[in-house]
A and B are shown apart, each in its own frame.
Chain A
Amino acid sequence: MQKRLLVRIPILLLLLCLSSALFAQKKTVTGKVTDAKDGSPLAGVSVQPKGDLKSGVVTGNDGSFTITVNDYVKTLVFSFIGFGTLERPVAAGDMNIALTGSSSGLNEIVVIGYGTVRKTDVTGAIATVGEKDFQKGSITTPEQLIAGKVAGVSVVSNGGQPGAGSTIRIRGGASLNASNSPLIVIDGVPLDNDAIAGAGNPLSFMNPNDIESFTVLKDASSAAIYGTRAANGVILVTTKKGRGGALKVNLNSTNSVGTLVKEVPVLSAAQFRSIVNTSGTAAQKAMMGGANTNWQDQVFQDAFGTNNNLSISGGLKKLPYRLSIGYQDQNGILKTDNLQRTSVGLAINPVLFDNHLRIDLNLKGSAQHTRFANQGAIGGAVTFDPTQAVYSKSSRYGGYFEWLDPTNPTGLTNLAGRNPLGLLEEHYNRSTPKRSIGNLQVDYKFHFLPELHANINAGYDVSDGKGTTFVPDSAAESYIAGGTGGQNNRYRTTKTNTLFEAYLSYSKDIASIHSHFDVLGGYSYNNYLTKVYNYASFYASGSKVPNSDPAFPFDKPEHTLLSWFGRANYSYADKYLLTATIRRDGSSRFGPSNKYGTFPSVAVAWRLKSESFLSGVDAVSNLKLRAGYGVTGQQDGIANYAYLSVYALSNSNASYQFGDSYYQGYRPGGYNPNVKWEQTATSNIGLDYGFLDNRISGSVDYYYKKTTNLLNSIPQPAGSNFSAYILANVGDMTNKGVEFSINFQPIRTNRVTWDLGFNITYNKNRITNLTVIPGDTSYPGFASGAIAGGIGGQFGLINAVGGPKNTFNLYQQVYDAKGQPIEGVFVDKNHDGIINQQDLFKTKPADPQTFMGFTTNVTVGRWNAGFVLRASLGNYSYNNIFSQTGTLNQILGNSVLYNGSTNYLVTHFKGGNAQQLLSDYYIQNASFLRMDNLSAGYNFGAISHTHTNLRFIAGVQNVFVITKYKGIDPEISAGTDVGPGNPGIDNNLYPRPRTYFLGLNLDF
């Protein structure tokens, strides 16, 4: 059905179009759009005939445009994100248009789910960031473009690895155990949030240079059209399109070098020696070597990166196109880390049949060559004995120094750390992920009823992530006696996600009653199919590890969403606006009784500026009140078949012996027949404002989100299920907060402009229920935040009713008169004479309550400079490096010597007391102010001949951090792993480099 339909509908449309072919008279208008500020050409400005916002062209890189319009069109509308809108009568000859930049272009078009609206007509909490406001510099992953730019949106990179993803949180996230990541939609294709094998994160395949704008749908009234996937907000990414006109070429190149900002403070070789000589046994003293090795110097490097992009756009006859090619080569600051990405983007956007048929074809592809460094070397470098030389004189184990034990067949000491540099240089994890996303969107405006549109969107997202981990048999990492070990293991995952959507929309102005209607109804089919290949394990030699064959050669998890959606907009006299949406989603992830969910929303807005009492007040350029309510869902983070009882066959190396045969076993999996989606109800009240010709503008929003049916992995009564923990819908949580943003232009002259932007978000999270029977006080909450180095299963955080998620739950340290912590002595909270679990107390939160962004930009003539600051307040981190390695036991308490944190010199802790790891002594204030970006540019303007424009930009990323936090980086709330990570626990973060970059941009 699906496929035949896909073919049939365009044919039908085509017939419709042809039947009423090209009747109208045409004329061609040309011109050029410039920035009123400095006369520089503005590329990408939308030029549309008035009254027909669905058709039009955009200006080329030199600001020029050519548009063919019907004879009766009298006025053209020019609009550009960040510049507002200008209407000009159609003139003969070249039209020269100067647009004035404003930080809150009121009349710009905003992309929303399934369509666009004028910014003035927006009723929900929506923020848009266009190219002009992106973070600048050497950006390897697109979401970093908007870090610090939007109130309510926090973007925290997961570390310094090239291509590493970011943790994006919109208004704090609405979930505990399931996903807190927003839905990302690229040109109408919703992405699957799971990473692909061998690639850093779901967005890392994209060339940041291809992105035109981000739209963030923050509240439920704007996001509910995406139903079950919208509870954490939605980010709509719009890529650059073809612009028509003459051939335009843009070439830009950014080269950068990243440096390590700060090393983890560990004992020097001299300090280490003195400790071992004072406290070690004779055998331990003898273990020491004669070298002075800074292992962190050994594993980190200056990382060069180059990022080059070429884009060509123009029009072939009437076919606007844009083709871009990007090549990036980025080293990591951890030796052997490298990412090479080649990306290609093609957009073709013809408008046919007298502007009745609009076709958007977007194809994007990227291929990466990645070598992932073995990140075990980061922790290894912190703790490896600094008195040992890097290399041994022996040729064994690759020539690297290793701890040896001749009584072992391998010759290596068991459970001892391996040489950190050897871990890097003898570990080849290489992958070649490829990905392509594309869609064909056809919008047909009926000839007999131009107010009626039919829109069909068919899209795909396919990827193939495969790679190999090779470790030579000489490497200590996986050494086998006799030197036939090592590894040579493959991995591969492919994804084939498909999308088909169709909707009809109808819009009508009824002047007699000052009303405008816009209604839309549609259907959406999303299918997510993954294929995970399972391979046997191999030694470096290529011979198979005996009996390592997987039970199945591959697995194909798949899930499907079927949806119907509708939206109605109504505006009265341009003053009163109403939006209502509904979406009904069906998901294959739930059992028969829970397959479908309905997600409604409604929002109203009142444009005070349009009222008579304000329309004459020039000082006020915009004032709009908004209120909305809606319900959204969440189904990410749920297994595909969690409601079904299914049996899984074990691998053959987990068999059982009967007689002389070995049988693989069928394991029934734990299941919950009643699992369903999380549901979040959001109320939002907002005010948009603009004063003094919009030189001061911004918005304030208050929101209240209540999530119910939280998906939680909860313990099952023992014996009642096949797994002791099952994902179930238990618990409620609220997020409430205030967002404020302001943009201010203190200076706006022809030569000098100065822009300031500031946003602040306050979010208060509170868990209100976690148990099947609400208010069950016997349930302490569930722990998270695994602490390394201790007894496994020790957690620093608790999620408990009454507090925010990720609250530290630790023992309260007792200090002596001098303020020194006393090892193993804690406050006996319940005065029962013993220190045990009952004495843990809930202390600081790991998540910030307040975060801010501050951006400024100054343009003086051809010079331009700016910076981005980001701050986070009220968040705390647990310094796991201090607690794990800051003890004498760390140095001397193992079979070989390990280096320790300099925190040992402060505490002189002996170590070995498991409770000490749970001391609140290790909690440190991780509030910070970070300058993300500082850059300056110079625009040479036209050089040598008129059509070439040259610009330079130079700057620094991660310029400085001001914090009280004593670890290398306070910003660890994102965790260090893929996925939810380990919030608030600082342990072996991949350091974020400080990056110096120099870029040039050439247009011709």
Chain B
Amino acid sequence: MNNNIFYIAAALCLSAAACTKKLDRLPTNDITPDKAYSTSTGYKEGLAKVYAAFANTGNTGGTGNPDIPTQIINDEGNSDFLRLYFNLQELTTDEGAWTWQNDAGIQGLHEMSWSSINPIVDGLYYRSFFQIALCNEFIRQSADGVLDGKHFPSQSVDSIRHYRAEARFLRAYQYWVLMDLYGNPPFVTEKDAIASTIPKQISRADLFKYVESELKGAADSGLVAPHTNEYGRADQAAAWALLARLYLNAQVYTGTARYTDAITYCNKITVAGYSLHPNYSELFRADNNLNIDENIFTIAYDGTYIQNYGGTTYLIHGPANIPGTITGCNGSWTGLRLTQQSVQLFPDYSGNTDHRAQFWQTGQTLDMTDMYTATAGFSTFKYRNITKSGAPAPHADPAGNYSDIDFPLFRFGEIYLIYAESVLRGGTGGDAGTALKYVDSLRSRAYGGAAGVIPAGQLTTDFILDERGRELYYEACRRTDLIRYGKFTTGAYLWAWKGGVESGTAVADKYNLFPIPSTDLSSNPNLKQNPGY
């Protein structure tokens, strides 16, 4: 009988021991990094997320599985890169106001009175760092030492090395965004281990050097030649375009002008065989992925495969009161309008002469008499989710929510303007005649003929700023441009409701930078707030 007790006890002990193994549970579908990167397809899927990090809001189309926690942005539809970036680059300027002041973070943007607690200011910061963290991880996982252990065919290894260079480019792009908007962000690279590093802060000037060297490094070793990559992926021209933009603004970032370098990289792109797409309005259509003549680097969107409520979906629905039949969607969110100052950059804003003036005027007033009234100020249908032929977007979702339009982060038209401005600002390696020719070619396209051509004497830096306003409005450049011209916070240029008053007023210089989010200041003891906040 005692033996029986012994058996029971022994059985109990055995079962207990056998079960301890059951404490190692693994998820069903989510996999560990070494599994994810066990195949070359896995690397491509890793790379897909590195890119998707600035296109999508999360891992599920529409909403439902956000990348950015709801503590930072409550409404996932607002948490993608472009919508956040657009809001900070455009709503703070003469080009935009948003009707719904109760929407998170809107209040204070156009008034230029934002604080260090603002979901849009926080949102872009954390979105940029999300993509940076993905890039760091991808670069770590694709390091030569790691790849050596995988025994992939050499062709696959070569491809992965290109992917790695693209991750370096994307990281540099996001650090450029952070440098441009926040000045002195924290700094992490692939050398910093996840979940155990407290990043150090980097100065704007040092970050400039880092971005510059990373772009050159990626361009020189890894990125493929212009026009030789798959659509959607970065090539050398993308890095050159960002370098051109970086040098154009170097005075702002570092105190030292680098216009000659800007011209150098514009020239490299020109030589690489880009040209202006013949029709301006076709640049922002559902099938603009076909514009390989002008597109240098785009964020891809798709009504079926790349669905979210930011991106160009925001840019077709957002503009106020434009019928869905025109924008190619199920209707307007009645939000975005432009100030009259921005519209009046076009001497004839009807669109009859300069076809870039694509303003919706029906029911709208020219003057933005109120920041938060949907009919105050024109809106624009620059982005239309229909094809060049006017057909429905090829991958449109039946509900009419999502856009197929790709967003040009860099297009060749801007390169002409960078070139011209750099020449006018004293850069060498270019000449005034070419600058004028470039500007005239943009304007000829806009006017549909020579009517847009200007006399040489008219080409000044101020003209370039206005021309950028006409050519690149709603392309998320405006805040950076106004700062470069000293017109963002000062009284040198006033627009409706700048500083919160209808006639516009200057605001404190601190607004040339956004504040480091207070959330990060309280979780990272290495950080110091930007001056004035």
Show the binding face of A for B, using Cβ within 8 Å.
1-2, 5, 8-9, 12, 15-16, 19, 405, 407-410, 413-415, 446, 448, 454, 478, 480-481, 484-485, 502, 523, 525, 527, 539, 545-548, 551-552, 554-560, 562, 564, 586-588, 595, 640-641, 644-660, 662-669, 671-673, 713-726, 776, 778-780, 782, 786, 789-794, 836-837, 895, 912, 914
In the complex the two chains form, is A414's CB within 8 Å of B56's CB?
A: no
Known: A641-B30, A669-B30, A717-B524. A651 touches B61 (CB 8 A): yes
In the complex the two chains form, is A665's CB within 8 Å of B20's CB?
A: no
Known: A586-B23, A724-B72. A657 touches B30 (CB 8 A): no
- Residues on the A chain within 8 Å of B32, using CB: 644-647
In the complex the two chains form, is A523's CB within 8 Å of B199's CB?
A: no
Known: A641-B30, A664-B45. A657 touches B305 (CB 8 A): yes
Contact with A along B27-40 (1 / 0, CB 8 A): 11111110110000
Contact with A along B343-367 (1 / 0, CB 8 A): 0000000000000000000000000
In the complex the two chains form, is B302's CB within 8 Å of A662's CB?
A: yes
- Residues on the B chain within 8 Å of A641, using CB: 25-27, 30
B137 at the interface (CB under 8 A from A): yes
Q: Which of B1-53 contact A (CB under 8 A)?
A: 1, 4-5, 7-8, 11-12, 14-16, 18-20, 22-33, 35-36, 42, 44-52
In the complex the two chains form, is A588's CB within 8 Å of B23's CB?
A: yes
- Residues on the A chain within 8 Å of B30, using CB: 641, 646-648, 669
Known: A641-B25, A647-B36, A672-B195. A724 touches B130 (CB 8 A): yes
Known: A16-B1, A523-B15, A527-B22. A715 touches B45 (CB 8 A): no
In the complex the two chains form, is B304's CB within 8 Å of A725's CB?
A: no
B330 at the interface (CB under 8 A from A): yes
In the complex the two chains form, is B28's CB within 8 Å of A557's CB?
A: yes
In the complex the two chains form, is A719's CB within 8 Å of B188's CB?
A: yes
Task: List 28 A-B pairs, Cβ < 8 Å.
Answer: A2-B19, A409-B400, A410-B330, A414-B317, A414-B333, A480-B398, A523-B12, A527-B22, A587-B23, A595-B23, A644-B32, A651-B60, A651-B61, A654-B65, A656-B48, A657-B289, A658-B233, A663-B47, A665-B46, A668-B33, A718-B199, A719-B132, A719-B187, A719-B192, A722-B133, A722-B134, A789-B102, A914-B102
Name the residue on A nearest B526 (C-beta): A717
- Residues on the A chain within 8 Å of B129, using CB: 718-719, 724
The residue from A19, A484, A666 contacting B49, defined by CB atoms under 8 A apart: A666
Show the binding face of B for A, using Cβ within 8 Å.
1, 4-5, 7-8, 11-12, 14-16, 18-20, 22-33, 35-36, 42, 44-52, 55-56, 58-62, 65, 67-69, 71-75, 78, 101-107, 115, 117, 119, 125-126, 129-130, 132-134, 136-137, 185-188, 192, 194-199, 230-233, 289, 300, 302, 304-308, 317, 323-325, 330-334, 372, 374, 397-400, 517-524, 526
- Residues on the A chain within 8 Å of B16, using CB: 523, 562, 564
Name the residue on B nearest A726 (C-beta): B195
Name the residue on B nearest A562 (C-beta): B19
**Minimum C-beta distance from B19 to chain A (A):** 5
The residue from A651, A663, A669, A720 contacting B188, defined by CB atoms under 8 A apart: A720
**Minimum C-beta distance from A269 to chain B (A):** 26
In the complex the two chains form, is B230's CB within 8 Å of A667's CB?
A: no
Shortest 6 CB-CB contacts between residues of A and residues of B: A653-B61, A665-B49, A407-B323, A663-B48, A659-B230, A717-B524
- Residues on the A chain within 8 Å of B104, using CB: 791-794
In the complex the two chains form, is A560's CB within 8 Å of B33's CB?
A: no
In the complex the two chains form, is B400's CB within 8 Å of A481's CB?
A: yes
In the complex the two chains form, is B231's CB within 8 Å of A836's CB?
A: no
Report how far A593 CA is from B90 CA in the complex, Å.
50
Name the residue on B nearest A791 (C-beta): B104
- Residues on the A chain within 8 Å of B51, using CB: 656, 658, 665
Known: A646-B27, A724-B126. A654 touches B137 (CB 8 A): no
The residue from A409, A559, A588, A673 contacting B331, defined by CB atoms under 8 A apart: A409
- Residues on the A chain within 8 Å of B31, using CB: 646-647
In the complex the two chains form, is A407's CB within 8 Å of B199's CB?
A: no
In the complex the two chains form, is A649's CB within 8 Å of B22's CB?
A: no
- Residues on the A chain within 8 Å of B130, using CB: 722, 724
Report how far A222 CA is from B65 CA in the complex, Å.
41
Report how far A646 CA is from B32 CA in the complex, Å.
5
In the complex the two chains form, is B61's CB within 8 Å of A654's CB?
A: yes
**Minimum C-beta distance from A890 to chain B (A):** 10
The residue from A723, A837, A912 contacting B69, defined by CB atoms under 8 A apart: A723
- Residues on the A chain within 8 Å of B519, using CB: 715, 724
The residue from A407, A523, A780 contacting B522, defined by CB atoms under 8 A apart: A780
The residue from A654, A717, A779 contacting B308, defined by CB atoms under 8 A apart: A654
Report how far A789 CA is from B32 CA in the complex, Å.
41
In the complex the two chains form, is A407's CB within 8 Å of B325's CB?
A: yes
In the complex the two chains form, is B103's CB within 8 Å of A15's CB?
A: no
Report how far A895 CA is from B332 CA in the complex, Å.
11
In the complex the two chains form, is B25's CB within 8 Å of A559's CB?
A: yes
In the complex the two chains form, is A715's CB within 8 Å of B62's CB?
A: no
In the complex the two chains form, is A407's CB within 8 Å of B33's CB?
A: no
Report how far A556 CA is from B30 CA in the complex, Å.
10
In the complex the two chains form, is B119's CB within 8 Å of A660's CB?
A: no
- Residues on the B chain within 8 Å of A525, using CB: 15, 19, 22
Report how far A597 CA is from B103 CA in the complex, Å.
46
Residue among A5, A409, A588, A654 with the highest chain B CB neighbour number at 10 A: A654
Report how far A790 CA is from B75 CA in the complex, Å.
12
The residue from A15, A545, A654 contacting B59, defined by CB atoms under 8 A apart: A654
**Minimum C-beta distance from B244 to chain A (A):** 25
The residue from A545, A564, A663, A668 contacting B134, defined by CB atoms under 8 A apart: A668
In the complex the two chains form, is A480's CB within 8 Å of B49's CB?
A: no
Name the residue on B nearest A478 (C-beta): B399
- Residues on the A chain within 8 Å of B61, using CB: 547-548, 651-654
The residue from B28, B103, B186 contacting A719, defined by CB atoms under 8 A apart: B186
The residue from A1, A652, A792 contacting B75, defined by CB atoms under 8 A apart: A792
- Residues on the B chain within 8 Å of A794, using CB: 104
In the complex the two chains form, is B20's CB within 8 Å of A408's CB?
A: no
In the complex the two chains form, is A1's CB within 8 Å of B52's CB?
A: no
- Residues on the B chain within 8 Å of A523, using CB: 12, 15-16
Name the residue on B nearest A527 (C-beta): B22
In the complex the two chains form, is B106's CB within 8 Å of A665's CB?
A: no
In the complex the two chains form, is B22's CB within 8 Å of A720's CB?
A: no
Known: A558-B25, A640-B25, A673-B195. A912 touches B46 (CB 8 A): no
Name the residue on B nearest A410 (C-beta): B330
Known: A407-B325, A587-B23, A588-B23. A650 touches B60 (CB 8 A): yes
**Minimum C-beta distance from A636 to chain B (A):** 16
In the complex the two chains form, is B45's CB within 8 Å of A666's CB?
A: yes
In the complex the two chains form, is A657's CB within 8 Å of B231's CB?
A: yes
- Residues on the A chain within 8 Å of B399, using CB: 478, 480, 485
Report how far A719 CA is from B178 CA in the complex, Å.
12
In the complex the two chains form, is A791's CB within 8 Å of B105's CB?
A: yes
Report how far A552 CA is from B30 CA in the complex, Å.
10
Name the residue on B nearest A778 (C-beta): B522
Report how far A779 CA is from B518 CA in the complex, Å.
9
- Residues on the B chain within 8 Å of A912, using CB: 101-102, 372
**Minimum C-beta distance from A476 to chain B (A):** 13
Known: A793-B104, A895-B334, A912-B102. A9 touches B11 (CB 8 A): yes
**Minimum C-beta distance from A198 to chain B (A):** 18
- Residues on the A chain within 8 Å of B317, using CB: 414
In the complex the two chains form, is A409's CB within 8 Å of B302's CB?
A: no
The residue from A407, A484, A564, A791 contacting B106, defined by CB atoms under 8 A apart: A791
In the complex the two chains form, is A654's CB within 8 Å of B58's CB?
A: yes
- Residues on the A chain within 8 Å of B308, using CB: 654
Residue among B46, B49, B68, B333 with the highest chain A CB neighbour number at 10 A: B49
In the complex the two chains form, is B330's CB within 8 Å of A408's CB?
A: yes
In the complex the two chains form, is A653's CB within 8 Å of B400's CB?
A: no
Report how far A720 CA is from B231 CA in the complex, Å.
31
In the complex the two chains form, is B233's CB within 8 Å of A721's CB?
A: no
Report how far A715 CA is from B520 CA in the complex, Å.
7
Residue among B44, B125, B195, B324 with the highest chain A CB neighbour number at 10 A: B195
